[in-house]
Amino acid sequence: MKDFAGKIAVITGGGTGMGRELARQLVAEGCNVAMCDVSAEAMAETKRLCEVEKLPQGLRITTHVADVSIEDHYKRFRDELIEQQATDKIHLLFNNAGIGGGGSLFSNTREQWERTFNICWGGVYLGVRTFLPLLVKADEAHIVNTSSVNGFWASVGMGVSHTAYSAAKFAVKGFTEAMINDLGLNAPHVKCSVVMPGHIGTSIVSNSRKVQLGTSSDHLTADELTQARQRLKGQGIDVAKMSDADIQQLALDRARIFHDEAPTSAAAAAKIILDGVKAERWRILVGDDAHLLDERVRETPEQAYTPEFYQNIVTATGWKVG
């Protein structure tokens, strides 16, 4: 697929971050977009940004409220798309939606753990299941599943548990790689790619807890404050003299730094992804840090979960948050 003009793209998690930037860049190339997100307000802003420049006649941008972990939501999204986009086929599927959280089997609840896993993995699986018939009907099509560097390296540092997200992203990577053969045997005109971003400047840190808790507040709950203290203590930080207000401010700073000081912006990440689709690359690493980490894990896999390995990565990449 060398260009996107006149095509129809589905994007999950289109309200913020890479999903928003994928929508903007696809629309700029003349591609129709149907996006879903749990936030109607966030999608409205994405649509507004897409429409800043007058759209070509007939170009369609539609928004659909859906939780990607719930199959009935996906089916409603599909049915709305067929009606509002006036089509029985799509050309591009970006399974982009994801959240963090539920990192520990000890300090997080089962509900938190499974919420993360069911969005990050289940959303990809259900997305493919739901939209595959529409992709097959197109003359050419491409599935793009967002994994992560945590799809080949299950860590964000020695002091932080990271099991739910990592397990989900490993599943996404393996699923997509297995699909290469499955599609080749049964629908060779449909291609697929697994995307493995490093640290990208998105709002995933702040958005994840809001999705987990069903809140719009930035203020940590009592349980979150306790967990934050445990996490900081695990990172070797003395929290004994820190007030709840101090912990709250650190959480806000962490979310801000993750968004504002990332080595790769969401817009740059979206361009790398779209260029990878045009080049029919099945494996798309996003960011210099992703390339470096991939290389280091392959070189010394037995050392990948040692403090020395992590510190070397931090030094080499300039990561400021775990």
Least confident of 177-186, 212-221, 312-321: 212-221
Strands 264-265 and 200-201 turn out to be parallel
Whether 80 has a pLDDT exceeding 90, the answer reads yes
In tens, the pLDDT along 142-167 reads 999 999 999 999 999 888 899 999 99
For the chain, percent of residues with pLDDT exceeding 90? 74
Query: Which secondary structure element, helix H or strand E, spans residue 84, and what is its range?
Result: helix 71-84
Torsion of CA 310, 313, 318, 322, to 10 degrees: -30
Long-range contacts of 57-61 (CB under 8 A, 24+ apart): 59/27, 59/30, 59/32, 60/32, 60/33, 60/34, 60/84, 60/85, 61/23, 61/27, 61/32, 61/33, 61/34, 61/35
Question: Which is more confidently placed, 90 or 228?
Answer: 90
**Among 125, 131, 146, CA closest to 190:** 131
Average pLDDT over residues 113-132: 98
Give φ, ψ of 149 to 5 degrees.
-60, -25
Q: How confident is the model at residue 202 (pLDDT cuts 50, 70, 90)?
A: confident
**Among 264, 284, 291, CA closest to 21:** 264
CA atoms within 13 A on the CB side of 52: 8
What is the C-alpha radius of gyration for the chain, rounded to an integer number of angstroms?
20
In tens, the pLDDT along 232-270 reads 777 678 888 888 888 877 777 666 766 677 889 999 999
**Among 117, 124, 148, CA closest to 212:** 117
pLDDT at 209: 62
In tens, the pLDDT along 166-176 reads 999 999 999 99
The pTM (predicted TM-score) of the whole model is: 0.90
In tens, the pLDDT along 38-61 reads 999 999 999 999 999 788 888 999
